[in-house]
Chain A
């Protein structure tokens, strides 16, 4: 009896079951041992930016006009930089940490010798990076509340939006994780993708300052759309246009995870 096998398409639908949970739990257990030092590392830098720029530059800039409402610069900056923190935390975890587990420690190989599929491992890494991003964001939000930067009750809505942003940036980062041959590769991603996006997405200054062509590009950047949703919530307003940015976040997440899954399957197919 002979059977010939056609390799299954790497673009086939995700095969997800409840087995992503023990993988997520594994990462949680490792992190629990290092949570406090990692918390300090995760929130110290964004807070330094906020304090130095917000109070320092804020004294020079004074107030900005956003959606016909005057806001202090520190509030403008806080609402943008928290999206940036979500992006950085999710990206870092889905790149450096996931790559360590996938390639250096071969943790994934060990897991996949048990009845856990690659699709579930990747989903666990996605949700784990999003969880860490949410944890960082929550800590920063707490400090912002303590500093009295915003008291908007709508921050409760900003919280799940920031989680969604974390999921999106983790999905994108996992594409680069699937392509990486070493850690050096991630430096390019941070300096050539994330850093320019940070400056073009209205985190530090209003996008009205950008030349029209650059602004047209900026309209479609994932970080821009996260900021568009989060900033009004910090100002105790509902986003005037929420459907388009929400759709950009959703579509980017779905497409990026699918691409990341396909490329990771290709990497492991050998």
Chain B
């Protein structure tokens, strides 16, 4: 890895009073009579990765749009503090000054189809007021970081989905931003491409960047995010570290049972008392319990069924908090 961020100022990890880098207070947005974001507050510390999860229509994209100044909130404030001691910048009034310190990867790539990968980076750097002499030396480093060194002269149309996303990430880094806003950065990618993206994001976190990430993938949220914000119907319904949230809301163990006749077990009076909570989703019965052993022993009487015993994870949390039903309007 040749990419390093030694030109990034120290983020003040050891400062006694740590000020958040980015802060949102009491944010509200209505579209007509519909409140899409309601009383939302959160902050991002320097070097932190905050994940925003929630079902479709929960208000994630509207929140990101407000953070970028593309949508004006009806109420509340959004502020960015470039340095702990510096005065805060406010969205949307200081939008340009804030954007100069942000890197954005949107859900849908907005790469220039007529330019090569290298030209895409060069042209994008100019939007930040950087001259060619300033950008040109960074281009090979950025392409290397995105694992696109061999594709410098290829146009986006010739790239795979994963390569395009990495080029978008490289483009978002051209101004050496303090905070990255990533809206579903791995949606639509195959597992290899997703793992490579995760590795790169981890690297950026190690280098002191802060990240605001929205995602539908709970393994991604669990792996990358220091803290999570769960949104539903525009409201914050939970916030905390992934492990803490799971411990706080869920029994530690889950036994999934599926196969022919599995659904009947949900009503089985012998099994139900062995679990703290029983849920059905599709063809699968989920038993949530603090002690799975008696349950597993009882399930041995049903050898035809498939059982899976595992620790509770973020997906369980997500489904518990936001419900298992598919939403018609989503």
- Is the CB of A110 closer than 8 A to any CB of chain B? yes
Q: Select which of B68, B77, B92, B112 is within 8 A of A30 by beta carbon.
A: B112
Question: How far in angstroms is the closest Cβ of chain B from A117?
Answer: 7
In the complex, chain B residues whose CB is within 8 Å of the CB of A113: 68, 99, 102, 104, 106, 110
| Chain A proximity mask over B113-130: 1 for CB below 8 Å, otherwise 0 | 111000100011011110
A2 to B108, Cβ gap below 8 A?
Answer: no
Known: A1-B25, A22-B123. A115 touches B77 (CB 8 A): no
B110 to A19, Cβ gap below 8 A?
Answer: no
- Is the CB of A237 closer than 8 A to any CB of chain B? no
B72 to A2, Cβ gap below 8 A?
Answer: no
- Is the CB of A195 closer than 8 A to any CB of chain B? no
- Is the CB of B76 closer than 8 A to any CB of chain A? yes
Within 8 A of B (CB), among A234-270: 268-270
* Shortest Cβ distance from A6 into B: residue: B72
In the complex, chain A residues whose CB is within 8 Å of the CB of B304: none
Question: How far in angstroms is the closest Cβ of chain B from A25?
Answer: 7
In the complex, chain A residues whose CB is within 8 Å of the CB of B127: 19, 22-23, 111, 114-116
Known: A2-B75, A269-B72. A29 touches B119 (CB 8 A): yes
- Is the CB of B134 closer than 8 A to any CB of chain A? no
In the complex, chain B residues whose CB is within 8 Å of the CB of A111: 127
B75 to A270, Cβ gap below 8 A?
Answer: no
Which of A43-51, A71-79, A101-109, A168-176 is the contact stretch?
A: A101-109
Q: Select which of A3, A33, A105, A115 is within 8 A of B75 by beta carbon.
A: A3
| Chain A proximity mask over B74-118: 1 for CB below 8 Å, otherwise 0 | 111100000000000000100111011010101010111111000
Within 8 A of A (CB), among B249-281: none
* Shortest Cβ distance from A31 into B: residue: B114
- Is the CB of B71 closer than 8 A to any CB of chain A? yes
- Is the CB of B158 closer than 8 A to any CB of chain A? no
Known: A1-B77, A2-B26. A270 touches B70 (CB 8 A): yes
Question: How far in angstroms is the closest Cβ of chain A from B266?
Answer: 44
- Is the CB of A7 closer than 8 A to any CB of chain B? yes
In the assembly, what is the distance between CA of A33 and CA of B111, in Å? 17
Known: A1-B77, A115-B97. A106 touches B104 (CB 8 A): no
Size band of the B side of the interface?
35 or more
A5 to B68, Cβ gap below 8 A?
Answer: no
- Is the CB of B210 closer than 8 A to any CB of chain A? no
In the complex, chain B residues whose CB is within 8 Å of the CB of A29: 115, 119, 123
For the complex, count residues of A whose C-beta is within 8 A of B.
30
In the assembly, what is the distance between CA of A82 and CA of B84, in Å? 60
- Is the CB of B73 closer than 8 A to any CB of chain A? yes
* Shortest Cβ distance from B25 into A: residue: A1
In the complex, chain B residues whose CB is within 8 Å of the CB of A23: 127
In the assembly, what is the distance between CA of A114 and CA of B114, in Å? 19
In the assembly, what is the distance between CA of A19 and CA of B104, in Å? 18
- Is the CB of A151 closer than 8 A to any CB of chain B? no
In the assembly, what is the distance between CA of A33 and CA of B75, in Å? 47
Known: A105-B113, A107-B112. A4 touches B97 (CB 8 A): no
In the complex, chain A residues whose CB is within 8 Å of the CB of B25: 1
- Is the CB of A181 closer than 8 A to any CB of chain B? no
In the complex, chain B residues whose CB is within 8 Å of the CB of A8: 72
Within 8 A of B (CB), among A1-40: 1-5, 7-8, 19, 22-23, 25-26, 29-30, 33
In the assembly, what is the distance between CA of A4 and CA of B25, in Å? 12
- Is the CB of A61 closer than 8 A to any CB of chain B? no
- Is the CB of A112 closer than 8 A to any CB of chain B? yes
Known: A1-B25, A112-B70. A22 touches B126 (CB 8 A): yes
In the assembly, what is the distance between CA of A77 and CA of B224, in Å? 68
- Is the CB of B289 closer than 8 A to any CB of chain A? no
B111 to A4, Cβ gap below 8 A?
Answer: no
- Is the CB of B175 closer than 8 A to any CB of chain A? yes
Question: How far in angstroms is the closest Cβ of chain B from A125?
Answer: 15
In the assembly, what is the distance between CA of A117 and CA of B95, in Å? 9
In the complex, chain A residues whose CB is within 8 Å of the CB of B77: 1, 3
A30 to B114, Cβ gap below 8 A?
Answer: yes
In the complex, chain B residues whose CB is within 8 Å of the CB of A269: 71-72
Given contacts A22-B129, A106-B110, A107-B112, 10 further A-B contacts (CB under 8 A): A3-B76, A4-B75, A22-B126, A29-B115, A29-B119, A113-B102, A113-B106, A117-B95, A268-B70, A270-B71
Contacts from B to A (Cβ < 8 Å): 25-26, 65, 68, 70-77, 92, 95-97, 99-100, 102, 104, 106, 108, 110-115, 119, 123-124, 126-129, 175
Top 3 A-B pairs, shortest CB-CB distance: A110-B110, A114-B127, A22-B126
